[in-house]
Structure 1
Amino acid sequence: VLQLLSTSIAEAFGSEEEAAGRLAAGGGLASLLYLELLDASFSLDGTIGAFAITTNLPLILTGLGLGALFIRSLTLMLSREKALDSLVYLEHGAHYAIGALGLLMLSGILLKQWHMHLPEWLSGLIGVVLLLLALFDSLRQRRNVSIQ
């Protein structure tokens, strides 16, 4: 549902130039909703984790807003520079990391029956290793293509 909603909002914005014009003309409410939707769909634990640290609402809003702006600007920069087009295996590595996380979660359910617990750092380590392998393989592939 979130994917369909965010895709619909992105299509309503049109191109980036049209979105900038609409943002200036319309006050930015749709852009804010789009950013909040993206933030909620990619980091559902962000708000919950922020309330675990502090209950100061302006501080939480500021932190989450700055985080969303940083991720949005990073995503736009990577899109404009077409940086991910040359790193062909990075997307696959991200999918493998998500799959590994799913398998770890399923195994955690099974291990709970025997009162065992998977350490939290294990999922992070496996994700980082898979992404680094994908990055190095993409860089190697890009170097081989540029040599030929």
Structure 2
Amino acid sequence: MKKYLVAVFVAVLGAFCANAQENKTIDVNKCKASSLSVEGSTLISNGYGQLVFPENDYTNFTGVNFEASNFKKLDENATNAVCSLKIEYTQDGETVKVSMGFHRTGKKKIDFNSFKDEKKGVISIDPSSITKVSIGMGKNKQVDISNIVLVAKK
């Protein structure tokens, strides 16, 4: 009986390990800059710009983490908003665009199930419906973005 239980336990454990997902690190230099200059991990905007993550299937991820540091306003008229996380996804055949703004530097941990959109409030986004993820910046700002990680389902 013990051998049977041990065999079942090993089989179940093996199934969990085979299905386990790993976090995925995204290199800033592999992202596409739109209306931004990128110098290493530093983003510099002269207008409204985005750092678009490489195309990816987000189905097996629950969120995204990143760190924002060394924020500078390059013009006295620039706003104090550091950056935002922008997500595009499909819902009922339509493309929906949402944005979560950040006004302080530091580590950001965003969960797709409790995304805090600036206009809609807290919403739940199905990761399999996500078509585009980017970090947005307003005019005349500079910020370092590092440690971008897609968080895997456990």
Structure having the larger proportion of residues in strand: 2
- TM-score for both structures, normalised by structure 2: 0.21
- TM-score for both structures, normalised by structure 1: 0.22
Structure having the larger proportion of residues in helix: 1
RCO higher in 1 or 2 (8 Å CA, sep ≥ 6)? 2
